Amino acid sequence: MSHASTSVQDRPVPTPPAPVSSLSSRTLPRLAPLGFAVVSIALGVGIGAAAGWHSRVQWGLLSALLFLTISYVATSVVENKRQAKDRLATSLVWVCFLIAVVPLASLLWTTISRGSERLDGYFLTHSMAGVLGPEASGGVYHALIGTLEQVGIATLISAPLGLLTAVYLVEYGKGALAKAVTFFVDVMTGIPSIVAGLFILSIMLIAGLEPSGLMGALALTILMIPVVVRSTEEMLKLVPNELREASLALGIPKWRTILKVVLPTAIGGIATGVMLAIARIAGETAPIILLVFGSQLINPNPFEGAQSSLPFYIYEQYKIGEAASYDRAWAAALVLIAFVMILNLVARGIARWKAPKTGR
């Protein structure tokens, strides 16, 4: 059969014009975007240098614009309009991603490189007692203790409160009361930290109380509760209703169903939410300035006397304005970022450990 056909087609057949296939068409090589990026960065740097622009930001933005244009034009010439739009969208996503990541990476890099100069065991275990601004000694111990205690107290108060509020909203709440609670939680999310601080300050003045770590912790509580409520609420809503029904149908009372079935299923996400809320309040400065007053001395008692805290310490050292104090501020910033980072890792660990298991 095939033999016969070859003999028929023995004479030279005119090569058909480019195969008119409906499924395949010309495509750019897979690494083309990388090439576009290299070309546009080179162009951006070249034009920027030639025009004598000082700001590297301008060079970067020009490169980004060139990258978008080149990808779009090249793709629409080689491939087609639809592919070009697709490429444009992809490139835009990449450019936005890079623009978002650059400041973050730069911030991390600066903090680590400048903070690690002063960060050592001595820095972590000594306070600023008797240390004058320009002296290159002193440490962060008193501020670290302050942050741990204030954040700890705030968490002890707001985690149970927030958790129970979320349980109420998801499992029990209906009607006007639940709507009102949701509304006020939303409003609380937007409270500036200085306002929370002023609120506690006014109570402090009325009740004739002295500044202490506890007062700062109370202001942090106001900031933390709505975050905990919000995240816990979302996590509880993710628990399938079938699990609640399965439990109720076994004759398990509703409160035990919530305690033993709903909460364990969502505990990973709830823990992550609480940790993120802690990370948020750990960096608050304003309420601490108002309510904890700041101190150079180690004061392990959060219920009496002034304390310090990491963000307050950074602010204080920056204000001194000496080379040695700048170094201390950067090192303290690094400690604060490390603290938040560790909390995040712990939260991820808990989430993975507690996540509903699927393995055999």
Tell me which residue has tokens 């960096």: 283
What angle in degrees, to the nearest 10, is found between the helix axes of 310-320 and 323-354?
160
Rule CB under 8 A: say whether 14 interacts with another protein. Answer: no
Residue 175 makes contact with another protein by CB under 8 A = no
Which residue of 264, 300, 321, 349 would you call a contact of another protein, by CB under 8 A? 264
Positions in 120-139 near another protein (CB under 8 A): none
Per-residue binder mask for another protein (CB under 8 A), 229-248, x = binder: -----------x-xxxxxxx
Helices (H), the chain: 2-8, 32-51, 56-78, 81-115, 121-125, 141-167, 176-189, 193-207, 213-238, 241-249, 254-257, 263-282, 286-291, 310-320, 323-354
Using CB under 8 A as the binding rule, whether residue 356 contacts another protein is answered as: yes
Please state the closest distance from residue 238 (CB atom) to another protein, in A: 12
261 binds another protein (CB under 8 A): yes
Structure tokens at 247: 């439990």
Task: Candidates 13, 206, 249, 323: give the one binding another protein (CB under 8 A).
Answer: 249
- Selected range binding another protein among 23-31, 32-40, 284-292, 350-358, rule: CB under 8 A: 350-358
Does residue 307 touch another protein according to CB under 8 A? no
- DSSP β-bridge partners for residue 307: 293
Please say whether the beta carbons of 213 and 146 come within 8 A. Answer: yes
> Which residue number, 15 or 241, has a Cβ lying nearer to another protein?
241
Closer CB to another protein, 39 or 263, in the complex: 263
Binds another protein by CB under 8 A, chosen from 252, 276, 320, 338 = 252
What is the DSSP-derived secondary structure letter of residue 133?
Answer: T
Residue number, 160 or 253, with CB nearest to another protein: 253
Residue placing its CB nearer to another protein in the complex, 122 or 172: 172
Quick check: 276 and 227 in contact, CB under 8 A?
Answer: yes
- CA atoms in the 13 A half-sphere facing the CB of 92: 7
Q: How far is the CB of 355 from another protein (least distance, A)?
A: 9
CB of 286 to another protein, least distance (A): 40
d(CA 64, CA 39): 11
Give CA–CA dist 353/360, Å, rounded: 16
Number of chain positions touching another protein (CB under 8 A): 26
Nearer to another protein among residue 167 and residue 223 (C-beta): 167
Look at residue 290 and give its three-state secondary structure. Answer: helix
Applying CB under 8 A, which residues contact another protein?
174, 240, 242-253, 256-257, 260-261, 264-265, 354, 356-360
